[in-house]
């Protein structure tokens, strides 16, 4: 990001850099509800949701946010109608192709968390290509949670640790919070400072269960297709005004 863009972003936010969240995670909820309210098919809500993804990613890059994690598809979403799932896979493939030049221009690095099972090969190929091409970028890390569930992630991590114990390459007493974190999909990433949820739902929906232990929550009644840059700024300002004590006393 240019010095001019950084200065403009700082002026618009009016939040000191050290008070901003390093890592913002978003539960992008309400695509279908938004479409129904507009008397449109649910898939149109998902299409409009991609526009919200684009502006949120670009603004986080402009603000020099270290990481943005988006909950794109949960492991429970496979219960939805096949036509909707097929459209979601199409949108994901399309996003990986069409946004690739923007990702590179803005120095964004892409990572994916979640299980690969069930995702069509053509989509996996485009995901892997974008990850590989952006691997050396040094700007905002865009982490997409696809076919992701927090409980499944922890089960997978525990299984891998159990295998290490079984091979006697790890002792049970060596298992710690830090070690478990190293076996999660998010290994090497900072925990989210701020968790944003749209559409007014007051739950975390099996998202980053381990990582959000001390995250600040921010919920808006707006559905995801309605989420604007001003809403992102509002969430960041609210976060910056909070006193994060991590179990201690206020200073």
pTM for the whole structure:
0.93
Helices (H) and strands (E) in the chain, counts: 9, 6
Catalytic entry in 3, 16, 29, 230: 29
C-alpha to C-alpha distance for 130 and 111, rounded to whole angstroms: 9
Query: Is it the case that residue 4 has pLDDT exceeding 50?
Result: no
C-alpha to C-alpha distance for 25 and 102, rounded to whole angstroms: 21
Please identify which residue in the block is written with the tokens 């998902």: 46
- State the Cα angle at 206 between 103 and 37, rounded to 5°: 75
**What are 218's strand-pairing partners?**
196
Active site residue 77: yes
C-alpha to C-alpha distance for 181 and 50, rounded to whole angstroms: 30
How remote is the C-alpha of 123 from its chain's centroid? Answer: 18
Mean pLDDT confidence for 86-106: 96
For residue 58, give every residue at least 6 positions away whose Cβ sits within 8 Å of its Cβ, in sequence order, or none.
Answer: 102, 106
Mean pLDDT confidence for 85-89: 95
Which two tokens mark 193? 């400072």
Which two tokens mark 196? 């944003």
| DSSP of 37-78 | HTT--HHHHHHHHHHHHHHHHHHHHHTT-SEEEEEEEETTGG
216 membership: H or E segment, kind and range: strand 216-219
pLDDT by residue (tens digit) across 127-175? 999 999 999 999 999 999 999 999 999 999 999 999 999 999 999 999 9
**Which pLDDT score is estimated for 250?**
61
* Confidence class for position 251, pLDDT limits 50, 70, 90: low
CA dihedral (174, 150, 51, 17) in degrees, to 10, reads: -40
* Confidence class for position 63, pLDDT limits 50, 70, 90: very high
pLDDT by residue (tens digit) across 235-244? 999 999 998 7
Catalogue all structural domains in the chain, each as residue range(s) with its CATH number.
21-149+191-239 (3.40.1180.10)
Which two tokens mark 111? 């990572």
| Strand 216-219 to 67-74 pairing | unpaired
C-alpha to C-alpha distance for 112 and 142, rounded to whole angstroms: 8
pLDDT above 90 coverage of the chain, percent = 88
- State the Cα angle at 104 between 100 and 106, rounded to 5°: 115
DSSP-derived letter for residue 146 is E
Query: Is it the case that residue 2 has pLDDT exceeding 60?
Result: no
In this structure, which long-range contacts are made by residues 81-88, counting pairs with CB atoms below 8 Å and at least 24 apart in sequence?
83/43, 84/42, 84/43, 84/46, 87/43, 87/46, 88/46
C-alpha to C-alpha distance for 1 and 64, rounded to whole angstroms: 7
**Which pLDDT score is estimated for 7?**
61
Active site residue 128: no
For residue 136, give every residue at least 6 positions away whose Cβ sits within 8 Å of its Cβ, in sequence order, or none.
Answer: 109
pLDDT by residue (tens digit) across 26-61? 999 999 999 999 999 999 999 999 999 999 999 999
Q: Which of 152, 142, 144 is nearest to 76 (CA)?
A: 152
Catalytic entry in 3, 64, 77, 231: 77
């Amino acid at each position: 990001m240019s010095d001019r863009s950084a200065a403009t972003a700082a002026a618009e936010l009016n939040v000191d850099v050290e008070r901003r969240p390093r890592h913002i995670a978003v539960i992008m909820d309400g695509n279908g509800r938004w479409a129904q309210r507009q008397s449109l098919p649910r898939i149109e809500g998902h299409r409009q949701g991609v526009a919200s993804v684009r502006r949120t990613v670009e603004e986080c890059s402009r603000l020099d946010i270290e990481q943005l994690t988006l909950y794109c598809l949960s492991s429970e979403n496979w219960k939805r109608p096949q036509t909707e799932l097929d459209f979601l896979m199409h949108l994901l493939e399309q996003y990986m192709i069409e946004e690739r030049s923007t990702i590179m221009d803005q120095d964004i690095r892409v990572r994916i968390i979640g299980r690969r099972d069930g995702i069509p090969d053509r989509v996996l190929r485009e995901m892997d290509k974008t990850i590989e091409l952006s691997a050396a970028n040094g700007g905002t890390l865009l982490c997409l949670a696809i076919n992701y569930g927090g409980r499944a992630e922890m089960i997978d991590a525990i299984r891998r640790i159990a295998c290490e114990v079984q091979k006697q390459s790890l002792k049970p007493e060596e298992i710690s919070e830090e070690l478990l974190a190293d076996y999660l999909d998010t290994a090497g990433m900072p925990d989210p400072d701020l968790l944003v949820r749209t559409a007014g739902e007051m739950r975390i929906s099996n998202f980053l269960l381990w990582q959000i232990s001390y995250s600040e929550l921010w919920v808006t009644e707006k559905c995801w297709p309605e989420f604007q840059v001003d809403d992102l700024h509002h969430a960041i300002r609210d976060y910056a005004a909070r006193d994060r004590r991590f179990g201690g006393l206020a200073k």
